Chains A and B, each alone.
Chain A
Amino acid sequence: MGNFVALFLIIIITIPVEVPMLLAAVRRTLCLLGGLLLLSAPVVIAQDITKTLRLPQMSAIPTLDPGLAQDSSSIEVIEQLFLGLTDYDPKTYEVIPELATKWSASADSRTYTFEMRKDVFWSDGVPVTAHDIEYAIRRNINPETASPYAYVLYILEGAEAINKGESKDFNSLGVRAVDDYTVEFRLTQPAGFFPAMAGLWTYRPLPRRSIEAFGTAWTEPEHILTNGSYRLATWEKGNQLILKRNPDYKDSVTQQPAQIEEVNYYIIPESSTGLAMFENGELDIIGGTFLSIPVAEIDRVRKEYADRYSAQPDLCTYYLGVNNEREPTNNPLVRKALSAAIDRKTLVERITKGGEEPATTFTRPPIFGSVDPKEGIGIGYDPEQARRWLAEAGYPDGEGFPTITYMHNTSENHAKIAQAVQAMLRRNLGVNIRIENQEWKVYLKSTTQPDAPHLFRFGWCADYPDANNWLMEVFHPTKSTNRIRWQNSEYAQLTEKAMGSTDPSERIQLYRRAEQILNEEEAAIIPLYFYASKYLVNPRLKDWYHMALGGQQIRYWRLMGRP
């Protein structure tokens, strides 16, 4: 026995001495092992870390073709490579000029004319002209291109018929290069939001010579022609993408090229790996569009990296879709009761915990046409009123209320929110809900069926900053997917009228009324909260800000020193 104690003591005493030696031994072994691996190591070009911004992306970047892009990671890179006619102010999300210098609308607001900058060039030195925009739109609307986002061009005259294959008359298409630096769009109807739309990637100029010469391979680094603040240097698909600063680029605001010389995007599928890399100084940003911070780690990183952590508002709304055709949620009183029984403030403070804001309307402020939360439109948390509404619907204290289904796509976060809502509804209304989850693609299918669950979660994010993109394109009874299976003719008329109106103050009033019907009078959906992006940013990155729409404006950021 005494021997063991002695041995134990010796071990304890020698640990401080032994551990470093042991570690050194392990290290030598690892280096030896590494030496073996060296035989096959690829040549790695040493990069100057002080001039290189390192960003993660969760999955392979699907495409760099502005005409084919529809996902946020493609759009992120396209934003660095290709200019649009217009861009957005990062604070107000108002439309500002980019490739265009100014624009004007005809009296009936059905013809828009954009004057373009004359000092923007493709990477082969050829000027970017109105003809490149005309070509891009003709090419993207062609059904053979099979562009998934072609429908944002449908507002142009003749576009829909061509894309549907009903017409081959490309001359009837509502886009025309008036001269080298003036482009004109003819619309099917007046659209006050058109300048916001004209900055979308599907409207950006494309290099005809490159596309015609190389087909789908035109986006390869050796063939691609770009005109943005960065140029494509390397693209190892699914591994990394490297951009180099375009020295010829002159920003419309600063009159200067981008500040950071090189931008590397690494594909990192696991967010916990990304976080470890950030903590180890191998990444400059994690969060937002650059791989989300694992939810389980938010509490820790918020404390540990208080100087690097921030929550930034995002132009997205988390809401519960309601199946407006199924018993018992086809009764507006039931829907209103459910909406009033959910305590959104507790939800964002205790469950999501990342700087989200409670929502009672759909269009995310400050987007044009959204309602200021202070106006109190929509149904807030009011358990008393909720019980009254449920009693009026014929279910006093929840008696006789059938168990309804709440479905979410499989994810830990959505599950937590579902459980919180379940608890709130049980406590405040005495009703039971059954939670189910499905894998994303299956879920997308299930929620478009007539027997879709009573409640199902979705998040909607702005494509362009106008309420048309929300109220019209998501819930219009016939002109949208309308997953909520909701028919309301007044709502339909309001959104159609607002789409065609050119009077901003009238449009605001129309959208305000539409929000009121959707969220308050009919409670056809139950908005829960407005999103926030949680970020960790290395302090060496200066002038950084979060752009909630259409790719980050890396051209204005600066790097100072080492990570």
Chain B
Amino acid sequence: MLNFLVRRLGSGALSLLVIAALVFLLLKALPGGPFDTEKSLPPEIMRNIEAYYGLDRPLWEQFVRYVGNALQGDLGVSYSQRDLPVIDLIAQRLPISLELGLYAILLGLLIGLPLGVLAAAYHNRLPDYVATLLAILGTSIPNLALAPMLILFFGLFLKWLPIARWTTWDSKVLPTLALGLGIAAVISRLTRSSMLQVIQEDFIRTARAKGLSEVSVLGQHALRNALLPVLTIMGPILAYLLTGTLVVEEIFAIPGLGSYFITSISNRDYPVVMGIYLLYGFLIILMNTLVDILYAWADPRIRLE
């Protein structure tokens, strides 16, 4: 276990360094700079600004400085908001994105798991069909389309919920739905098919033969085994959340990282883009490691070496 963690840590750090180098080079290769405007700034003013941010130094030096500062927890200062350190920006915005992501995953599990179990239990009967229909709807409507529909219906038409922003509890309902329903659909499909597989297994027949109730058979014996593929998909779901939040945050005017990420790319706000990329990379590595550990917990046959 310890061995496993150490190796993961090493490869993770290396991955992050590679990500940093790649993003750094790609950003510099993008035409257009952070301080380009329609009325081009006089060259001497551009020089002053570049000197202020250290952009007048050679590329390798900029990168080495960046990595050196990053190791000490300093990710630089945003170019488009001069007095805002990137680390503060992340500290302000990440919790909001995480909160939204957490609600979405919870909603996904809360709806997806029971729906999947139900569909499997009533295989090829009405509940199964209904669940399938819902899942197809859930996966095929992108949140880009779902979000405005939710706003239109619950906000403008029924006037039950605020249209946008992330303030009171009721303002959080629509974004959670917009992000979580798609996850619920994926989870329910996956739970259903893996339950169906597990139900065929001998140990389930044994459990039934022992006279256990159907609830106990499905809930205790089948579900735990069926969870393995669901756990596997939590990694990709995280990736989905990261990209999904971009759209949902933008539409609902939520001050999370996702919406800011888009803006900072078009502003060529190098330090912010770098910081968010590194953070995303870190989170994905972290989540994959966690999933591997959960694997071992869910399936005693798996040992972390």
Binding site for B on A (CB under 8 A): 23, 27, 30, 33-35, 37-38, 40-42, 44, 59-60, 62-63, 65, 68, 70, 143-148, 150-151, 160, 163-165, 216-217, 219-220, 236-239, 266-270, 272-273, 276-277, 279-280, 282, 439-446, 448, 458, 460, 473-474, 481
CB neighbours of B166 from chain A (8 A): 239
**Are the C-beta atoms of B151 and A273 separated by less than 8 Å?**
yes
Specify which of B99, B173, B250, B262 is in contact with A34 (CB 8 Å cutoff): B173
Compute how far the CA of A121 lies from the CA of B36 in the bound complex, rounded to whole angstroms.
37
8 contacts between A and B (CB under 8 A): A37-B103, A44-B168, A165-B48, A267-B255, A270-B253, A273-B251, A440-B32, A441-B268
CB neighbours of A41 from chain B (8 A): 168-169, 172
Could you tell me which residues of chain B, from 167 to 202, have a CB within 8 Å of some CB in chain A? Answer: 167-170, 172-173, 176
Which 10 A-B pairs rank lowest in CB-CB distance, beginning with the nearest?
A: A441-B32, A239-B255, A146-B52, A216-B83, A481-B40, A38-B169, A164-B44, A37-B169, A41-B169, A268-B253
Compute how far the CA of A455 lies from the CA of B46 in the bound complex, rounded to whole angstroms.
27
CB neighbours of A280 from chain B (8 A): 155-156, 159, 162-163
**Are the C-beta atoms of A148 and B49 separated by less than 8 Å?**
yes
Given contacts A41-B168, A68-B82, contact A442 B31 (CB under 8 A): yes
Query: B91: shortest Cβ distance to chain A, in Å?
Result: 12
Compute how far the CA of A38 lies from the CA of B80 in the bound complex, rounded to whole angstroms.
34
- Chain B contributes a number of interface residues (CB within 8 A of A) equal to 62
**Are the C-beta atoms of A37 and B176 separated by less than 8 Å?**
yes
Q: Is B243 an interface residue (CB 8 A)?
A: no
**Are the C-beta atoms of B266 and A440 separated by less than 8 Å?**
yes
Compute how far the CA of A27 lies from the CA of B161 in the bound complex, rounded to whole angstroms.
10
Excluding A33-B107, A216-B83, A276-B164, 11 further A-B contacts by CB distance (< 8 Å) are: A145-B48, A146-B49, A151-B41, A163-B45, A236-B255, A239-B255, A282-B162, A282-B163, A439-B266, A441-B33, A445-B31
CB neighbours of A146 from chain B (8 A): 45, 48-49, 51-52
Given contacts A236-B255, A282-B162, A441-B268, contact A150 B45 (CB under 8 A): yes
- 0/1 string, B19-44, CB within 8 A of A gives 1: 00000000000111101111111101
**Are the C-beta atoms of A62 and B32 separated by less than 8 Å?**
no
CB neighbours of A474 from chain B (8 A): 39
**Are the C-beta atoms of B152 and A276 separated by less than 8 Å?**
yes
**Which residue of chain A is the closest to B33 with respect to CB atoms?**
A441
Q: Is B59 an interface residue (CB 8 A)?
A: no
**Are the C-beta atoms of B170 and A34 separated by less than 8 Å?**
yes
**Are the C-beta atoms of B164 and A268 separated by less than 8 Å?**
yes
CB neighbours of B83 from chain A (8 A): 63, 65, 216-217, 219-220
Specify which of A33, A163, A282, A445 is in contact with B32 (CB 8 Å cutoff): A445
**Which residue of chain B is the closest to A30 with respect to CB atoms?**
B173
**Which residue of chain A is the closest to B255 with respect to CB atoms?**
A239
CB neighbours of B44 from chain A (8 A): 143, 160, 163-165
Could you tell me which residues of chain B, from 134 to 167, have a CB within 8 Å of some CB in chain A? Answer: 148, 151-152, 154-156, 158-167
CB neighbours of A148 from chain B (8 A): 35, 37, 41, 45, 49
Compute how far the CA of A146 lies from the CA of B159 in the bound complex, rounded to whole angstroms.
48
Compute how far the CA of A441 lies from the CA of B269 in the bound complex, rounded to whole angstroms.
12
**Are the C-beta atoms of B159 and A37 separated by less than 8 Å?**
no
Query: B88: shortest Cβ distance to chain A, in Å?
Result: 9
Specify which of A63, A272, A279, A448 is in contact with B82 (CB 8 Å cutoff): A63
CB neighbours of A68 from chain B (8 A): 82
Query: B50: shortest Cβ distance to chain A, in Å?
Result: 8
CB neighbours of A239 from chain B (8 A): 166, 255
Given contacts A34-B172, A237-B92, A444-B36, contact A276 B80 (CB under 8 A): no
**Are the C-beta atoms of B93 and A266 separated by less than 8 Å?**
no
Compute how far the CA of A446 lies from the CA of B36 in the bound complex, rounded to whole angstroms.
12
CB neighbours of B97 from chain A (8 A): none
Q: Is B81 an interface residue (CB 8 A)?
A: yes
Compute how far the CA of A280 lies from the CA of B260 in the bound complex, rounded to whole angstroms.
25
Compute how far the CA of A239 lies from the CA of B95 in the bound complex, rounded to whole angstroms.
14
Query: B264: shortest Cβ distance to chain A, in Å?
Result: 10
CB neighbours of B266 from chain A (8 A): 439-441
**Are the C-beta atoms of A270 and B251 separated by less than 8 Å?**
yes
**Which residue of chain A is the closest to B164 with respect to CB atoms?**
A273
Compute how far the CA of A176 lies from the CA of B32 in the bound complex, rounded to whole angstroms.
39
Query: B94: shortest Cβ distance to chain A, in Å?
Result: 13
Compute how far the CA of A145 lies from the CA of B45 in the bound complex, rounded to whole angstroms.
10
Query: A400: shortest Cβ distance to chain B, in Å?
Result: 33
CB neighbours of B251 from chain A (8 A): 270, 273
Compute how far the CA of A268 lies from the CA of B162 in the bound complex, rounded to whole angstroms.
14
**Are the C-beta atoms of A151 and B268 separated by less than 8 Å?**
no
CB neighbours of B48 from chain A (8 A): 143-147, 150, 163, 165
- 0/1 string, B46-83, CB within 8 A of A gives 1: 00110110000000000000000000000000001111
Query: A316: shortest Cβ distance to chain B, in Å?
Result: 11
**Are the C-beta atoms of A23 and B158 separated by less than 8 Å?**
yes
Given contacts A44-B167, A148-B49, A276-B151, contact A30 B160 (CB under 8 A): yes
Interface-central residue, A23, A38, A60, A279, by most chain B CB under 10 Å:
A60
CB neighbours of B255 from chain A (8 A): 236, 238-239, 267
**Which residue of chain B is the closest to A272 with respect to CB atoms?**
B148
Compute how far the CA of A277 lies from the CA of B92 in the bound complex, rounded to whole angstroms.
24
Given contacts A33-B173, A439-B266, contact A276 B163 (CB under 8 A): yes
Query: B240: shortest Cβ distance to chain A, in Å?
Result: 21
Q: Is B304 an interface residue (CB 8 A)?
A: no
CB neighbours of B93 from chain A (8 A): 238
CB neighbours of B92 from chain A (8 A): 236-238
Query: A81: shortest Cβ distance to chain B, in Å?
Result: 15
Q: Is B259 an interface residue (CB 8 A)?
A: yes
Q: Is B252 an interface residue (CB 8 A)?
A: yes
Q: Is B84 an interface residue (CB 8 A)?
A: yes
CB neighbours of B263 from chain A (8 A): 59-60, 269
Q: Is B89 an interface residue (CB 8 A)?
A: yes
**Are the C-beta atoms of A62 and B80 separated by less than 8 Å?**
yes
CB neighbours of B31 from chain A (8 A): 441-442, 445-446
CB neighbours of A448 from chain B (8 A): 40
CB neighbours of B89 from chain A (8 A): 237-238
CB neighbours of A145 from chain B (8 A): 48
**Which residue of chain B is the closest to A279 with respect to CB atoms?**
B156
**Which residue of chain A is the closest to B165 with respect to CB atoms?**
A266
CB neighbours of A481 from chain B (8 A): 39-40
**Which residue of chain A is the closest to B161 with respect to CB atoms?**
A30
Query: B85: shortest Cβ distance to chain A, in Å?
Result: 10
Query: B39: shortest Cβ distance to chain A, in Å?
Result: 6
Compute how far the CA of A62 lies from the CA of B155 in the bound complex, rounded to whole angstroms.
30
CB neighbours of A270 from chain B (8 A): 250-251, 253
Compute how far the CA of A444 lies from the CA of B131 in the bound complex, rounded to whole angstroms.
51
Compute how far the CA of A270 lies from the CA of B258 in the bound complex, rounded to whole angstroms.
14
Specify which of B39, B81, B158 is in contact with A63 (CB 8 Å cutoff): B81
CB neighbours of B259 from chain A (8 A): 269
**Are the C-beta atoms of A37 and B173 separated by less than 8 Å?**
yes
Specify which of B36, B39, B81 is in contact with A60 (CB 8 Å cutoff): B81
**Are the C-beta atoms of A151 and B45 separated by less than 8 Å?**
yes
Compute how far the CA of A517 lies from the CA of B168 in the bound complex, rounded to whole angstroms.
59
CB neighbours of B45 from chain A (8 A): 146-148, 150-151, 163
Query: B76: shortest Cβ distance to chain A, in Å?
Result: 13
Compute how far the CA of A386 lies from the CA of B238 in the bound complex, rounded to whole angstroms.
60
CB neighbours of B159 from chain A (8 A): 280
**Are the C-beta atoms of A33 and B156 separated by less than 8 Å?**
no
Compute how far the CA of A273 lies from the CA of B174 in the bound complex, rounded to whole angstroms.
13
Given contacts A34-B172, A44-B168, A217-B83, contact A473 B39 (CB under 8 A): yes
Query: B38: shortest Cβ distance to chain A, in Å?
Result: 6
Given contacts A268-B164, A276-B156, A444-B37, contact A144 B250 (CB under 8 A): no
Query: A222: shortest Cβ distance to chain B, in Å?
Result: 13
Compute how far the CA of A41 lies from the CA of B168 in the bound complex, rounded to whole angstroms.
6
**Which residue of chain A is the closest to B80 with respect to CB atoms?**
A62
